[in-house]
A and B are shown apart, each in its own frame.
Chain A
């Protein structure tokens, strides 16, 4: 226990629960209350039996109101019906002084022909009782407050208004002249009028089922809102419709700013918020902010939605959307699932959940959410786009059926730039290392889709597609870099975009920039499940950069991590082989490990020209050592021959070594084999293709001088 105050609470919620259970003051009715209630129950039961025993007042099909009129006793009649808390033995004065027990329930004033006759009878009598008490007392106690209070206490549910108005009209003039009555009666009348307007507006909205176009739907909403301007949800829906129409209209105006497109919807949303606080309005406003790419404003709207509906489905949706914007995907998933539990038809929650699961890297889970959104709202293009994206990634980018879904999405909403952008991206086929392999016709269609998407609204998928085409098909790495940067500016959470730009930087020989992008890839992948292969590729690329910087120790560490994550990445084995092969600090046995690594790389990918080349070099390097007895010159030459063949094939794109090095290494091998003429030919070819600044230039010249001596000696 602290010196002043109370002992600290346990941190554990279970222990806290135990503490509450143990210490909270007991709550329950006192013995007196219990006795009173049981007594009243008994009295009530007896009263009901008596009522049932009385002659029926006729069939109840006329409803309660008819019974009230029939049963209304004269003003000077009996003060209260028996039973249900109205004790028969009290006299009229005592009854009037006792606080009312609100003997009329809401449902007893409603017309319910199927209601059991005795209930209608009892309810009717109860109403009559209340009114009669009021009226009878009013006759003699006009100055008393209770008759008016009895009337004031009558229920005021939507279904009770008319009955209460009629009962009010029946009160004596003296009571009706009181300011309290006038205020309450005027208020009731206003509420009745509002109710009437609302039912007329709802009748107009009932025509929505016949509307087939967005324009018709908007017109119906406008008609309904002209009758009742307090229909907040109708304002929000009309804002949605206005936004959809304005987006389509903007297709003809490629220069339209996002804020111009959202202006009409925002005006309608202001009307929604003027008619009452609405979480739905704030949630939709956040969508408009996102469309305008103003995340900070979107967050503000989402906070307001949470304030309006802290415990409801929309509040949970708003929390989920906020967490999605903050990239707190785990929390977002929890909140969105809660929103769906609270409202199984909340389409925006399913859509957001699909987006979150895609961002988390679990597309297989996104499929169900997107599919549910599509089922609930068959007209949603967004649901189709998300479903297509989820299926595309869940299938390892192999599901070609998604193109059909994207065509449907585009037809549903031609202004949906995401449908076109994703279609562009999904059209292309790629190797496991991201090289585009699609033919010219497919590439042209993908480019067309991407450019159309960007003309509507810049999209990350569209920029990515254009970047890939510029890099792999058009030989424009500088342009590819700028496109990839556009993609990243739009969505910095896309791992694909960072990976592609890293590849582009490597092509541009900007290793530092590539390394930085790869660090982002690794940071993003760390928090996402199922990214082992991607992480292994990023580590491999960083390992390759390490090898090229001759930082062999770091490179070996990165590459071993890559292989532990995914043993199938051939390049990881290749670079590990190079690191072991080329490291001047190598240990005994490292060359044997290097050869194994090269061989493993080739077993994974036999078209990897670099692996053939470097293994050939390793054979030759090992044969050059004077201590080695078993020379491998021929084995080296065989590997170099395959590497050269691959250089002339489609696999040449992936080769990173220069063809003239093949000549150098062959020259060295023939030199070792003492085939002087062949050695001379290859070394001269090498010197012709290289420059004096290269490391090997002097070595080649030196070997040629020795060859001349050997040839001259003969």
Chain B
């Protein structure tokens, strides 16, 4: 199931009902898309849960506000919703950029390499990647999104996503290698 077409016909039918103010349809749409939207925002916001919660919340509110503009002829509901999430994200980042730099929080403290299982290593290496790489990898391998859906989220093309994933995997391998003493990227 992907963001742009979790199952498309159902999403589009639900969107039509949602346009008429059907709250049950909204709830169904929310359930179908919450993980994808949340995951996208979480990685783009540097895994800041509090901020992700806010933008995630605003994304759905904005969707309610603009549902009349949604045209299923022009694209899938998921892609449209991701577009809204991206706009919200942009706006929030712009506002945040104007504010004084926050002190380093706990999440920014470098983690010492530890002896651990592969799962721990995977998550540590993953956290060292750029938000764009994180988003691409998470959407592809964690959420099982299609290249088209990732492209819509990252405002690029499916072909560029293929290339991006290649580089992201390489960056991931390099980050993982550095967790092991003597490891080379």
Contacts and interface: CB of A to CB of B under 8 A. Distances in A.
Contacts of A174: none
Nearest to B68: A116
B61 A85 contact: yes
Contact of A49 (B21, B117, B156): B21
B122 A41 contact: no
A274 to B, nearest CB: 25
Contacts of B66: 105, 107, 119
A24 B126 contact: yes
A161 interface: no
A6 B64 contact: no
A197 interface: no
Range class of the A interface residue count: 35 or more
B127 to A, nearest CB: 9
B57 A40 contact: yes
A441 interface: no
Contacts of A45: 21, 23, 26, 64
B47 to A, nearest CB: 8
A119 B53 contact: no
Given A20-B122, A40-B61, A33 B56 contact: yes
Interface string A35-52: 011101110110011000
A29 B114 CA distance: 29
Given A19-B118, A153-B95, A312-B160, A9 B27 contact: no
Given A5-B179, A27-B35, A37-B30, A19 B122 contact: yes
A9 B173 contact: yes
Interface string B150-185: 000000110110111000010011001101110100
Contacts of A342: 157, 159-160
A210 interface: no
Interface string A77-110: 0000000110000000000000101100111000
Contacts of B119: 22-23
A152 interface: yes
A27 B39 contact: yes
Contacts of B176: 6, 9
B39 A28 contact: yes
A305 to B, nearest CB: 15
A316 interface: yes
B122 A38 contact: no
B53 A33 contact: yes
Interface string B94-119: 11001000000000000001011111
A3 B27 CA distance: 50
B62 A105 contact: yes
A36 B52 CA distance: 13
A21 B141 contact: yes
A20 B23 CA distance: 36
A349 B36 CA distance: 35
Given A6-B179, A23-B123, A84 B61 contact: yes
B173 to A, nearest CB: 6
Contacts of A312: 160
Given A2-B180, A155-B91, A20 B142 contact: yes
B134 to A, nearest CB: 10
Nearest to A338: B159
A152 B94 CA distance: 10
Interface in B117-131: 117-123, 126
A13 B166 CA distance: 9
Contact of A338 (B61, B113, B126, B163): B163
B164 A311 contact: yes
A122 interface: yes
B160 A311 contact: yes
B123 to A, nearest CB: 6
B38 A119 contact: no
Given A21-B142, A41-B60, A45-B64, A6 B163 contact: no
Given A33-B53, A41-B27, A341-B159, A6 B137 contact: no
B72 interface: no
A5 B112 CA distance: 10
Interface string A1-25: 1111111110001001101111111
Given A2-B180, A7-B118, A37-B56, A20 B42 contact: no
B113 A38 contact: no
Contacts of B116: 6
A23 B62 CA distance: 33
A398 interface: no
B68 A41 contact: no
A33 B95 contact: no
A391 B5 CA distance: 44
A460 B56 CA distance: 62
A118 interface: yes
Contacts of B73: none
A29 B34 CA distance: 7
Contacts of B159: 338, 341-342
B87 interface: yes
A592 interface: no
A24 B35 contact: no
A341 B60 CA distance: 33
A25 B180 CA distance: 21
A398 B87 CA distance: 58
Contacts of B53: 29-30, 33, 36
Contacts of A105: 62, 65-66, 87
A45 B60 CA distance: 11
A5 B65 contact: no
A84 B180 contact: no
Interface of B: 21, 23, 26-27, 30, 34-35, 38-39, 42-43, 49, 53-54, 56-58, 60-62, 64-66, 68-69, 87-88, 91-92, 94-95, 98, 113, 115-123, 126, 137-138, 140-142, 144, 156-157, 159-160, 162-164, 169, 172-173, 176-177, 179-181, 183
11 contacts: A6-B117, A13-B169, A21-B144, A23-B123, A26-B142, A29-B53, A41-B27, A45-B64, A84-B65, A85-B57, A152-B98
Given A17-B141, A338-B159, 4 more contacts: A21-B144, A107-B66, A126-B65, A153-B91
Interface of A: 1-9, 13, 16-17, 19-30, 33-34, 36-38, 40-42, 44-45, 48-49, 84-85, 99, 101-102, 105-107, 115-116, 118-119, 122-123, 126, 152-153, 155-156, 311-312, 316, 338, 341-342
Please give me the 6 A-B residue pairs with the lowest Cβ-Cβ distance, nearest first: A5-B180, A6-B121, A23-B119, A341-B159, A20-B141, A23-B122
